[in-house]
Structure 1
Amino acid sequence: MNEPLNRQENLENGFSEPEIEFIQKHKHENAGQLILKAGQFKGFDVKKLAAQILSRQKAVKKLREWYANTKLIFPSALSVEQCSSEATAKYKASLVSGQQLTDITGGMGVDIYYMSRNFASADYYEQQQEVAKTAWFNFQKLGADHITVHSGDSLEALRNNAKPSDWIYTDPARRDANKDKVVLLSDCTPDIPSNLSLLFQNAPKVLVKTSPLLDIELAAKELTNLTEVHTVGYEQECKELLFVLDRNTSGGDFKIKIRVVDAAGDILHQLDFDRETERNAIATYSDPLSYLYEPHAAVLKAGAFKSICSIYDVNKLAVNSQLYTSNEPVAGFPGRSFKIIAICKPDMKEITKYINGDKANLTTRNFPAKPEELRKKWKLKEGGDFYLFATTLSDNSKAVIVTAKY
């Protein structure tokens, strides 16, 4: 139990050259159709290879470096969808460094692969032996032989024979035994709040990754020694929450760090604040002015609804609308920025005066209808150069703000 894997245990994991050629030849094809035509491909386990093709199709943008390596073995397509992206893994790597890193929830291994570049050595733990074997194989093909792979219970290893680390990293599973989503960290596997003392016996710092669906305030109540919470955005989504714990800090007050990153994990937008600042901040309000701003999902998750007014000198449209406006363009706003063309009643006859047709992008914020409902009602097609925001203004009137990107 928990012994490092060795080369002899893992040689059988690789694909033969003909299998690799098959995957590359058919990598853009429909995996289901390939399985239906399996009889045409004598000597191949088409179902197995089609699964690889489907997983690689999921990884083509998300894991570009891994996708480019033709010898790697990918887990199921669902696992690829659920794993960290290369962008967010590289961002996490920017937060940690030292001599020794320990990942207690291994999985596919994307996070430890990038994070371990800042360490002399790293230990990866995964309870499922086949998953661990695949990770070991991939690390070897990627040249990451400073990562030692263990198949077994990581908490047991920490209690008995793990070497001290500078950082422990964990991405606890967010479903219970019935595969239902959970809302508390203590309901995840492993239970991080209950095992914090054990983690701090082995490392002074702990980095916990969670789904963006987790409630930050609830998690903060469960985690002692919390110093930072990062809401990480990539493209248009908040991808994950990161909780930084330090055994030398008592906790209580923590910084919230909003980070929107690019494909390389570099920061495009950033904003730091704390809960006290947000509570004491005074939001300013106005009707739509010359420019409209829609905060990134990572900003909304962090809850910087009032702080953003003073930091960027913008006004809110209404208490619950989470849209902002200004007379002059604001550089570096963490989200999307638009030039306002018109403010209309929520009526298609009015809207068509400004969009020159029946095609526009549509978003609703604090509005009593969903975008799909309005599209159907207005016979509005998706796309084009115009962006419509159906929202509620500070006087509780309903409006559609017609905008274009600038």
Structure 2
Amino acid sequence: MTKILDPTIQEYIRTNINADLPSLLLKKSPFPEVTMQEIVQQIKGKRVAEKKFPFLLKEGIIFPPQINLEQASSEKTAQYKADLLKGEKFIDLTVGFGIDAYNLSQAFKEVTLVEQNSVLLETVKHNWDILGREARFISGQLEDFLQDNEEHFDIIYLDPARRNQQKNKVFLLEDLSPNILDIQDRLLAISESVVIKLSPLIDLKYLLSVLPAIFRIDIIAVKNDVKEVVIFLSGRQNDQVSCCCVNLESGEPPFTYIIGDEETAHAEYAEPGKYLYIPNNAILKAGTFNLVSQKFNLKKLHPNTHFYTSDHREGDFPGRILEVECVESKDIKKKRQFNIISRNHPLKPEEIRKKYQLKDGGEHYLIFTQSKKGKIILKSV
């Protein structure tokens, strides 16, 4: 593994950091001790690290295969979770590439990392040595660890593998590796708090139906792209479950509510006023459409249009606020540049651009949607 760290090979990697990788793979490695596949793996890793976890852009860091890079959390989402957790003893039972473990474990005195892939664990151990971070590294199946373990931990963290043996993506807890439903009781027997990272596509109602120990759900987006759903389990009796929707790197405030509040919330409806409110995608994932209307004193346009409106600007809204005016389709001039938004409307953005011969981008928006009176077009001003 450490052969890739030879200064000459590292210089070759730096020189080819922007090279066309398919073409590079067709070449023979200039170094007999490493393959071109290993070189390209490091180039891919550095490229991913630039955007996803820049703290690993240090001399001596080794990157794993692509599949491990894909499932690894970003530095931003890992830091968000790290701010929520602290204690004496932390364990990550599915350490993977260790991005979450490195960030989450900062506020703990004792750190244990379990990983079934021994090669990947060696990579993590090497990188943690470079970063100056200590831990106990255990290579093996987490089921074996849980069977033999007698320790108690303040926090248990898991990021289950979301691909089956056929390499297809899976989402249900019983299809993940490990099967969370099979081990949840054992986890809660050795920790008062279990934190599990899940796919952003997981259904919240399904989670609540199969995991009675949930006391908190966080829906984490970065720049309006929902990246993960994180659930918190506790062995203590939970009378209510809170949900926190966050949109990192947006400057928007988090939106927190109690599961069940949506069922009792009521929305009022109105035609578009001066301002249009577009909730961020973390809130759309949560499905708290009436609660948003009620909490921020906004009117909805339509039961199936999750846009809101008011004549006076309401601050601290977790999403975009646009000053708008209604326009007719005949007034849309061709060849103009707009960001197109289509919600609860028969035409998709690309179809709208083609129909009206519009260019994409610019500072202004055209919003194609519906109010209770029918289809409408709004333009930002």
The TM tier, using the shorter chain, reads: over 0.9
* Cα pair 1:20 1:70 within 8 Å, conserved: no
Does 2:222 align with 1:241? no
2:263 to 279, 286, 303: 279
1:217-245: per-residue Cα shift (whole Å, max 9, x none)?
A: 10111112111111111112111111111
| Residue equivalent to 2:99 | 110
| Residue equivalent to 2:80 | 91
Code of the aligned partner of 2:186: L
| Residue equivalent to 2:71 | 82
Query: Bigger shift: 167-176 or 179-188?
Result: 179-188
* Cα pair 2:92 2:101 within 8 Å, conserved: yes
| Residue equivalent to 2:138 | 150
1:300 to 269, 272, 284: 284
Structure showing greater relative contact order (alpha-carbon pairs closer than 8 Å, 6 or more residues apart): 1
> CA 1:227/1:386 → structure 2, altered by over 3 Å: closer, same or farther?
same
1:185 to 173, 198, 201: 173
Alpha-carbon offset, residue 70 of structure 1: 2.9
Superposed CA RMSD: 2.0
Alpha-carbon offset, residue 357 of structure 1: 4.2
Does 2:336 align with 1:358? yes
2: CA distance between counterparts of 1:336 and 1:211? 25
* Cα pair 2:252 2:319 within 8 Å, conserved: no
2:151 to 163, 176, 190: 163
Does 2:308 align with 1:321? no
* Cα pair 2:4 2:39 within 8 Å, conserved: no
2: CA distance between counterparts of 1:99 and 1:13? 37
1:390 to 351, 368, 374: 368
Query: Bigger shift: 254-263 or 357-366?
Result: 254-263
| Residue equivalent to 1:400 | 377
TM-score by length of 1: 0.88
Code of the aligned partner of 1:140: D
SS where residue 243 of structure 1 aligns?
Answer: strand
Q: What pairs up with 1:7-406 in 2 under 5 angstroms?
A: 12=2, 15-36=5-26, 38=28, 41=30, 45-66=35-56, 68-145=57-134, 147-161=135-149, 163-249=151-237, 251=238, 253-262=240-249, 268-340=252-324, 342-345=325-328, 347=329, 349-352=330-333, 357-395=335-373, 397-404=374-381
SS where residue 332 of structure 2 aligns?
Answer: helix
Alpha-carbon offset, residue 180 of structure 1: 3.2
2: CA distance between counterparts of 1:386 and 1:90? 34
SS where residue 146 of structure 2 aligns?
Answer: helix
SS where residue 133 of structure 1 aligns?
Answer: helix
2: CA distance between counterparts of 1:398 and 1:108? 48
Alpha-carbon offset, residue 104 of structure 1: 0.9
Code of the aligned partner of 2:80: Y
4+ residue segments displaced more than 6 Å: none
2: CA distance between counterparts of 1:290 and 1:254? 36
2: CA distance between counterparts of 1:282 and 1:107? 44
TM-score by length of 2: 0.94
2: CA distance between counterparts of 1:280 and 1:91? 30
